[in-house]
Structure 1
Amino acid sequence: MTPKEPREDKTAALLRAALMSAPGERITVEQLLEPLRRRAFGFLLLLLAIPNFIPVPLGIGGVMGVLVVALGLEMLIGLEHPWIPGFLRRRTMSREGLLRFLDRIAPVTQRLERICKPRMQRLTRRPFTFVSGAIMILIGILLALPIPFTNYVFGAMLIAFAFALVERDGALLLAVWTTTVIVVVASATFSRALAGLFRDLF
């Protein structure tokens, strides 16, 4: 009988342990991801989701969207671990700020951790990482578009995506793929309808 994965191996606990592993009040992206290297794609995606839930200057969705697209391209070409430019690796973040954010989203992460478990794991590995990369690119493009009030929606999708990758949950990954395709189709339909309305009015 296969033993259950211990609680400390869950996503939030791993991220907390990585935050506490480096000295100082601030931690670089490289320091944070180093102990999480085996599941770095999922954790990096989680980091890119965080700014979408924090009041920041207008346009942060565009910046995060571009970074998500870049990460998706890396998965699309089959990289085992994400490649991060030096200036981003050296970027520092507040340890306390990240810990407060983890506390803030704890109800969500706890629910996700109860749902998530290693299953349908083949979907989390190559060649299906090609699909994950393509879907990640779609989410990044949607996030980068100036669509009002959507940062929380796409940020939540990125969190679910990140948990699916970290926990090796192919079922949740499949749900994220499906949801993204539905959102893309709905957005395209809405955009066409809006363009038609403007044509009729003007």
Structure 2
Amino acid sequence: MSSARTSDVLTVLAAQESDRLTVGDIVAVLRDRAFALLIVILGLPNCLPMPPPIPLVCGFLLLLVACQIMAGMASPWLPKMLLARSVARSDVERAAKRAVPLLKRLERWSRPRLSLFETPLGMRTVGLIVLTLSLALIVAAPFIGQIPLGIAICLVGLGLVERDGLLVMVGLGIGVLGVLLNAGFVYAVVSGIMSLFNL
């Protein structure tokens, strides 16, 4: 397994020469830890207030990744159509500048522990966690609802990269709060619609 850490990978992505990065370019850089690092990278944009459809797109991609983890696949598969989609390198660079200092602090604190998530059953459990968070992300409240979910997803992914089960558990705890927050939002919207139509 490569010794590169998440902060190193983000720095490499931000330093690419092309104006736009395709999803295929990003997956190629991730190499042997593509699942874990994809989780971090797809969670990262949602740690900031982002307009639609960014949370929706990230949510669907995470849903696909989660299903593959639960199926026990060794590396991620993405449709050619998705691999060809691109993002501006400047956006990646902006996100990396904000995230890398925090990631480096977390990486200094993190270490291999609580290795229950390294087993096949543990990885499938992580897949279920990511599946739940991705579904919540898809229906998250605009601009702010995705923030706790994005943080949770990043921590889960970072915990996998660093083989730190405690970090995965912290991410799970924040994710539960994020899911409850957005469940309240969905309930309020549905209740409002039902009241509007006197249902």
Band the TM-score falls in, shorter-chain normalisation = 0.7 to 0.9
Aligned to 2:121: 127
Query: Which residue of structure 1 lines up, in the alignment, with residue 107 of structure 2?
Result: 113
Equivalent of residue 177 in structure 1, options 147, 172, 177: 172
Secondary structure class of the residue paired with 2:21: strand
Q: How does 1:24-173 map to 2 (within 5 A)?
A: 24-53=18-47, 56-148=50-142, 149-173=144-168
Q: Where do 4+ consecutive residues of structure 1 move more than 6 Å?
A: 197-200
RMSD in angstroms over aligned alpha carbons?
3.2
Q: 1:193 to 1:58 in 2, by over 3 A?
A: closer
TM-score normalized by the length of structure 1: 0.77
Match of 1:14 in 2: 9
Say if 1:115 and 1:67 are closer, same or farther in 2 by CA, change over 3 A.
same
Deviation, 1:146, is: 4.3
Comparing 162-171 with 95-104, greater Cα deviation is found at 95-104
Alignment identity in percent? 27
> Contact 1:18–1:36 at 8 Å: present in 2 too?
no
CA displacement, residues 6-50 of structure 1 (integer Å, 9 cap, x when unaligned): xx7321113323554x55333322222224221111221222223
Structure 1 unaligned blocks of 5 or more:
1-7
In structure 2, how many angstroms separate the alpha carbons of the residues matched to 1:194 and 1:187?
10
Change (3 A) 1:192 1:119: same
The Cα shift of 1:75 comes to 0.8
> Contact 1:124/1:169 (CA < 8 Å) preserved in 2?
no
Q: How many aligned residue pairs are there?
A: 193
- Mapped contact 1:121–1:168 kept (Cα < 8 A): yes
Task: State the Cα deviation string for residues 64-84 of structure 1 (Å, max 9, x = none).
Answer: 222222211111111111111
Opposite residue 80 of structure 2, the aligned amino acid is G
Shift of 1:138: 0.8
Counterpart of 2:139 in structure 1: which amino acid? L
**Structure 2: distance between partners of 1:192 and 1:57:** 18
Deviates most, 107-116 or 161-170: 107-116
TM-score (norm: length of structure 2): 0.78
Call closer, same or farther: CA 1:48–1:16 in 2, change over 3 Å. Answer: same
Name the SS of the counterpart of 2:87 in structure 1: strand
Q: Contact (CA 8 Å) 2:63, 2:131: kept in 1 or not?
A: yes
- CA distance in 1 between counterparts of 2:31 and 2:79 reads 16
